[in-house]
Amino acid sequence: MRSVCTVSERVQETPSTITLRFDYPGIARPGQFVMIWVPGDDELPMSLSYVGDRKGVTVKVMGETSRRMQGIPVGAKVGIRGPYGNAFDLRPPRILIVAGGSGAAVLAPAAEAAKENGAELCVALGATTASELLFDQRFQAMGARVFRSTDDGSVGQKGYVTGVAAELIAARPFDAVWTCGPEVMMQKVIRAAEPAGVPVFCSVERHMKCARGLCDACSLGPYHVCVDGPVFPAPALTLLDEFGAFKRDPAGRRVRA
């Protein structure tokens, strides 16, 4: 069932990223997503970046629809259905979070929930440049240790966040790694964690239509991201020839992931 919600808050998080908040009561677990519909425009799957009664999604400009979604003003009405999908297991006591770009959107609420459970958190936070680091303050505010990287070296370590992640995994003991970002990035995180034997959980994105496990638009090997995901343990993904290789476009054609 779809609810119509009013956008109550719009926050410019980085030059390319905004957060929309809306009151949508009900329990959502960190990692889950909603289908958000801009009337007259598309409906998109978006991981929740806030999971309380006042929920939120954090939108980065990726294409035409996300650009238009960024233009939604406070007071606008949006359709919401969900939450759908699975969630992060919040039990591990020592967690490394590896966030590339807008991947921090789904990892931040999971980190907050884990912190409430008493987990120790390290965050490897990467972006193209300093101003694009998403939820840097939010991770610090929850008491996580944040290690930054930027492609241009404007803040933190210069290079990709996978470099920072690999160093952290080599230097410290972790019970789990949570990651979200481009699939090639997540593949590198998985490889970095392998020698240390730390289980990795990835939040994966695919084009979605029904979000209820019927239409097959989000098929990923034997899985459907909408019901079996979006959070997958690494071994489920690394066995698939399509993870990091291809996804399906709205017509069902294979296109590069």
Which residues in this chain contact another protein in the complex, by CB under 8 A?
1-2, 4, 35, 37, 39-44, 77, 79, 81, 208-217, 219, 221-222, 224, 227, 248-254
Answer for the pair 47, 106: CB distance below 8 angstroms, yes or no: yes
In whole angstroms, the minimum distance from the beta carbon of 48 to another protein comes to: 18
What's the chain's Rg over C-alpha atoms?
A: 17
In whole angstroms, the minimum distance from the beta carbon of 132 to another protein comes to: 28
In whole angstroms, the minimum distance from the beta carbon of 183 to another protein comes to: 17
- Gap between the Cα atoms of 70 and 10, Å rounded: 9
Answer for the pair 158, 126: CB distance below 8 angstroms, yes or no: no
Q: How would you class 170 by CB atoms within 10 Å of its CB: exposed for 0-12, middle for 13-18, buried for 19 or more?
A: exposed
Answer for the pair 176, 198: CB distance below 8 angstroms, yes or no: yes
Q: Which is nearer to another protein, 22 or 160 (CB)?
A: 22
Q: How far is CA 239 from CA 85, 142, 220, in A?
A: 21, 35, 11
- Gap between the Cα atoms of 53 and 100, Å rounded: 27
Q: How far is CA 134 from CA 163, 212, 240, in A?
A: 18, 30, 30
Structure tokens at 174: 């972790």
Q: Which is nearer to another protein, 118 or 241 (CB)?
A: 241
In whole angstroms, the minimum distance from the beta carbon of 201 to another protein comes to: 21
Q: Which is nearer to another protein, 37 or 70 (CB)?
A: 37
Q: Which is nearer to another protein, 116 or 216 (CB)?
A: 216
In whole angstroms, the minimum distance from the beta carbon of 153 to another protein comes to: 39
Q: Which is nearer to another protein, 42 or 152 (CB)?
A: 42
Q: Which is nearer to another protein, 35 or 96 (CB)?
A: 35
In whole angstroms, the minimum distance from the beta carbon of 235 to another protein comes to: 17
Tell me 41's DSSP state. Answer: S
